[in-house]
Chain A
Amino acid sequence: MIPELGHLGMILALCLALVQGTLPLIGAWRGDRLWMGLAVPAAWGQFAFLSFAFVCLTQAFLVDDFSVAYVAGNSNSALPWYYKLSAVWGAHEGSLLLWALILSGWTFAVSVFSRQLPEEMLARVLGVMGLISVGFLLFLIVTSNPFARLLPQTPVDGRDLNPLLQDFGLIVHPPMLYMGYVGFSVAFAFAIAALLGGRLDAAWARWSRPWTLVAWAFLGIGIVLGSWWAYYELGWGGWWFWDPVENASFMPWLLGTALLHSLAVTEKRGVFKSWTVLLAIAAFSLSLLGTFLVRSGVLTSVHAFANDPERGVFILIFLLVVVGSSLTLFAIRAPVVRSQVGFALRSRETLLLVNNLLLVVATSTILLGTLYPLLLDALSGAKLSVGPPYFNALFLPLMGLLMLTLAVGVLVRWKDTPLRWLSGMLAPVLLASVALALLAAFVLGDFAWAVLATAFLAAWVVLAGARDLLDKTRHKGLLKGLHALSPSYWGMQLSHLGIAVCALGIVLSSQESAERDLRMAPGDAVELGGYRFVFEGTRHHEGPNFVADRASVRVFDGDDEVAVLHPEKRLYTVQRMPMTEAGIDAGFTRDFYVALGEPLENGAWAVRLHIKPFVRWIWLGGLMMAFGAALAACDRRYRVKVRARVREALGLAGQGA
């Protein structure tokens, strides 16, 4: 009974989405306030019904209702309750329901927090989001109903959740990632609404900015979680593989980064307007493309649940409709928009333009490497793959350039900057960075160009940030001055610091890591990277839904024991699926990482030993970027001045910030 109610909830939500996606848009076009007013209640109703549907599905999982096909396929009575909960979004149908729920959640949030938007703008934004929702709910109901029943042959027990997904990281990774993906729909909706209304101005950029920041932050956290999960769960010790599925989430993030910076220029200076709109459209399109790639089955991975061509075709058509119609609208409307102000070469505008170019080029190269094998397969049937060296060779130099320009961009002023002043600011930063880089190379011992260059770039970025802090506080004195700086400024500083931390983590963990795969019998010891690893054999161990061989590996530094690791080789009993559970000793400056391969004769095992210096910094840096964005989104000016801005947008007040 309850699953049927959930199904009904989805259908009612679709009806409300249809209302929300059509009438308010028509109302905004004809100036009909009654029709525009339908947007908010429709959005609320849709959110309520989808929440209800989601609760129904969750309930089916928690009470082990195996008559529901989706529950039977992805849960088991022996599964701990928290994995039953996360199994709700553990496969295709449920994750789409989560997607739709999050979309309606974002819509709800827009209707609550943007009450002071002009009526037409709000109606258009909610209308566009309603249309997106119609697409996804149709997809959900027509091709992937999570409430479909297995009657009358109800299985006695479920087929269990894929063991790879039985993990804390996977409880939180998908919701975070979806918050980001779907969050870009808000930026997209604002851009489309602005195009429809023919008003692309600073006010639009300011409305759009906090939403974009929050979405970008969520996407960043989602990517970090995914990378962290791959690191400890796949047992290879890698944290990024340039896998198409990873790229699918990384591309919208990169374009989102470009969008954030472009929005800043549009807000502050009123230039780059069409470019910003284009980026907003592109970022959301890449989110949809990511969904298509991941969900359609053209790629095969843990993420590709749907090997049903019908579903792939549906998403592809939806993608084409969204991209096609929004680009058509852009082509019709964009020529009307022209910027009135210019800027000189040595200005922040130029530097942010360079930032945008680099990020767009980086995204394009990743897109090329991701789609090339698929296109070639579709056209000629040739099977090939593009290896990580391609991505590294193109992406890393671009990011180096990005960090190089970042420091200048932070210091340079809007509109125009005297060259002498700029070089006066940058010269000490340059000298100190070179000195620090040389010092770092000296301390680390083995010389490597990559380490030297990255140490320089990281110091360059951090010191330029510090230089800017000093400059900003030169009038009020350091302490008082620091206090007066806005959250959005601190957010920017934190995010930029995150890039430096992340870059250091990436280079140090890949350049300085020590790894060995070897055969170890109980009692065997091996030296690696100045530490001694002693393998003490395995013992039998039983978990709630798996049995395991659990090894003990002691790590010694000289005579001191620094860590005891317990890697496991598990066998999940329902699916008869073996899994490697790595033993990790996490540290701020280094991780010990031990994973079991396969058992060999006489109690010996194939063992993988890694020492990964500074690997945590990668995720720490990623989180710093995300929290920086969240901090910036908290800035008061996005809330307090709303009334003044509305008047400004309506042309009632001549002067605005």
Chain B
Amino acid sequence: MNPVRKRRLFIVLAILAGVGAAVALALSALQQNINLFYTPSQIAAGEAPEGARIRAGGLVEKGSLQRDATSLAATFRVTDGVATVTVRYQGILPDLFREGQGIVALGRVDAGGMLQADEVLAKHDENYMPPEVSQALEKSGMLKHYENGKPGGAQ
């Protein structure tokens, strides 16, 4: 092999190795940081891995929000019409958090099947339902009960 070709081969191999390493690193970082979405039914059925950070969403059940009298701890139940999951959260709930509203919570499921949330999201639009939530309702067959009326039709 002549020196020019040898050098080119070396360069190409170096680039391939670099790109390979970068892609491997990126994918492994991605694997560790994706938050899968689970519906309340799935969590109730024990499908959500215990201890991993997940996203869960549904409608906040009416009359389920309880505030601690001395701290900012709150518990509420999230439903997809079939099953419910209890969410525990310490902190300030978003402006549009309301009972009956569609929300998404991020956190870990504990041994008791309760979601210990570290983040609760409610979007900045009255008529908006997070796509995950409308999909969860669709799966549970309850979407039609929520359409057009409050809270929010999922167009």
Partner of B26 from the list A368, A384, A517 (CB cut-off 8 Å) is A368
Which B36-91 residues sit within 8 Å CB-CB of chain A? 36-37, 53, 55, 67, 70-72, 90-91
A383 near B37: Cβ-Cβ < 8 Å: yes
A300 near B29: Cβ-Cβ < 8 Å: no
A-contact 0/1 string along B86-130, CB 8 Å cutoff: 000011110111000000000000000000000000011110101
Closest residue of chain A to B104, judged by CB? A385
B135 interface residue (CB < 8 Å to A): yes
A390 interface residue (CB < 8 Å to B): yes
Partner of A519 from the list B22, B33, B71, B130 (CB cut-off 8 Å) is B71
B36 near A383: Cβ-Cβ < 8 Å: yes
A369 interface residue (CB < 8 Å to B): yes
B-contact 0/1 string along A607-624, CB 8 Å cutoff: 010000000000000000
Q: How many A-B residue pairs have CB under 8 A?
A: 89
Known: A307-B155, A578-B95. Contact between A387 and B35, CB under 8 A?
Answer: yes
B34 near A386: Cβ-Cβ < 8 Å: yes
Partner of B67 from the list A162, A364, A368, A600 (CB cut-off 8 Å) is A600
B30 near A384: Cβ-Cβ < 8 Å: no
Closest residue of chain A to B136, judged by CB? A383
Bound-complex Cα distance A387 to B35 (A)? 7
A383 near B30: Cβ-Cβ < 8 Å: no
Partner of B126 from the list A368, A394, A576 (CB cut-off 8 Å) is A576
A557 interface residue (CB < 8 Å to B): no
Distance in angstroms from B26 CB to nearest chain A CB is: 5
A-chain residues with CB within 8 Å of residue B36 when the two chains form the complex: 382-384
B29 near A390: Cβ-Cβ < 8 Å: yes
A580 near B95: Cβ-Cβ < 8 Å: yes
Distance in angstroms from A272 CB to nearest chain B CB is: 16
A598 near B93: Cβ-Cβ < 8 Å: yes
B-chain residues with CB within 8 Å of residue A382 when the two chains form the complex: 36-37
B30 near A162: Cβ-Cβ < 8 Å: no
Distance in angstroms from A533 CB to nearest chain B CB is: 15
B-chain residues with CB within 8 Å of residue A364 when the two chains form the complex: 26
Interface residues of B (CB under 8 A from A): 22, 25-26, 29-30, 32-37, 53, 55, 67, 70-72, 90-93, 95-97, 123-126, 128, 130-132, 135, 155
Distance in angstroms from A361 CB to nearest chain B CB is: 6
Bound-complex Cα distance A300 to B128 (A)? 9
B92 near A578: Cβ-Cβ < 8 Å: no
A383 near B126: Cβ-Cβ < 8 Å: no
A-chain residues with CB within 8 Å of residue B71 when the two chains form the complex: 518-519
Closest residue of chain B to A600, judged by CB? B67
Which A550-607 residues sit within 8 Å CB-CB of chain B? 575-580, 595, 597-598, 600, 606
B131 near A383: Cβ-Cβ < 8 Å: yes
B22 near A390: Cβ-Cβ < 8 Å: no
Closest residue of chain B to A607, judged by CB? B92
B-contact 0/1 string along A499-521, CB 8 Å cutoff: 00000000000000000011100
B37 near A386: Cβ-Cβ < 8 Å: no
Closest residue of chain A to B30, judged by CB? A390
A365 interface residue (CB < 8 Å to B): yes
Distance in angstroms from A69 CB to nearest chain B CB is: 17
Query: Can you report 12 A-B residue pairs in the complex whose CB atoms are below 8 A from each other?
Result: A235-B95, A300-B130, A300-B131, A369-B30, A382-B36, A384-B37, A386-B30, A386-B34, A390-B30, A393-B29, A578-B96, A595-B92
Closest residue of chain B to A307, judged by CB? B155
A608 near B92: Cβ-Cβ < 8 Å: yes
A-chain residues with CB within 8 Å of residue B90 when the two chains form the complex: 517
A606 near B72: Cβ-Cβ < 8 Å: yes
B-chain residues with CB within 8 Å of residue A164 when the two chains form the complex: 124
Bound-complex Cα distance A600 to B93 (A)? 12
Bound-complex Cα distance A595 to B29 (A)? 33
Interface centre among B36, B71, B95 (most CB of A within 10 A): B95
A517 near B72: Cβ-Cβ < 8 Å: yes
Distance in angstroms from B119 CB to nearest chain A CB is: 10
Bound-complex Cα distance A382 to B67 (A)? 33
Bound-complex Cα distance A386 to B55 (A)? 11
Q: A302-B124, A390-B32, A519-B71 are in contact. List 12 more A-B contacts (CB 8 A).
A: A235-B95, A300-B123, A300-B131, A382-B36, A386-B34, A386-B35, A389-B32, A394-B25, A519-B70, A576-B126, A577-B126, A606-B92
Partner of A517 from the list B30, B91, B95 (CB cut-off 8 Å) is B91
A579 near B95: Cβ-Cβ < 8 Å: yes
B-chain residues with CB within 8 Å of residue A384 when the two chains form the complex: 34-37, 55
Closest residue of chain B to A397, judged by CB? B25
Closest residue of chain A to B90, judged by CB? A517
Interface centre among A164, A301, A387 (most CB of B within 10 A): A387
B33 near A389: Cβ-Cβ < 8 Å: yes
Closest residue of chain B to A597, judged by CB? B92
Which A356-408 residues sit within 8 Å CB-CB of chain B? 361, 364-365, 368-369, 372-373, 381-387, 389-390, 393-394
A385 near B30: Cβ-Cβ < 8 Å: no
Distance in angstroms from A293 CB to nearest chain B CB is: 15
A-chain residues with CB within 8 Å of residue B33 when the two chains form the complex: 386-387, 389-390, 393
B30 near A597: Cβ-Cβ < 8 Å: no
A385 near B34: Cβ-Cβ < 8 Å: yes
Bound-complex Cα distance A511 to B142 (A)? 45
The 9 closest A-B pairs by CB, nearest first: A597-B92, A383-B37, A390-B33, A578-B95, A387-B33, A517-B91, A384-B36, A383-B132, A389-B33
Bound-complex Cα distance A373 to B55 (A)? 13
B-chain residues with CB within 8 Å of residue A307 when the two chains form the complex: 155
Interface centre among A361, A382, A579 (most CB of B within 10 A): A361
B131 near A519: Cβ-Cβ < 8 Å: no
A-chain residues with CB within 8 Å of residue B55 when the two chains form the complex: 383-385
Bound-complex Cα distance A382 to B96 (A)? 26
B-chain residues with CB within 8 Å of residue A389 when the two chains form the complex: 32-33
Which A147-173 residues sit within 8 Å CB-CB of chain B? 162, 164
B95 near A162: Cβ-Cβ < 8 Å: no
B-chain residues with CB within 8 Å of residue A373 when the two chains form the complex: 34
B-contact 0/1 string along A237-253, CB 8 Å cutoff: 00000000000000000
Distance in angstroms from A39 CB to nearest chain B CB is: 41
A-chain residues with CB within 8 Å of residue B30 when the two chains form the complex: 368-369, 372, 386, 390
B-chain residues with CB within 8 Å of residue A372 when the two chains form the complex: 30, 34
A-chain residues with CB within 8 Å of residue B67 when the two chains form the complex: 600
Partner of B72 from the list A385, A519, A575, A595 (CB cut-off 8 Å) is A519
Partner of B35 from the list A385, A578, A598, A606 (CB cut-off 8 Å) is A385
B34 near A575: Cβ-Cβ < 8 Å: no
Bound-complex Cα distance A171 to B123 (A)? 22
B-chain residues with CB within 8 Å of residue A575 when the two chains form the complex: 126
Interface centre among B29, B32, B97 (most CB of A within 10 A): B29
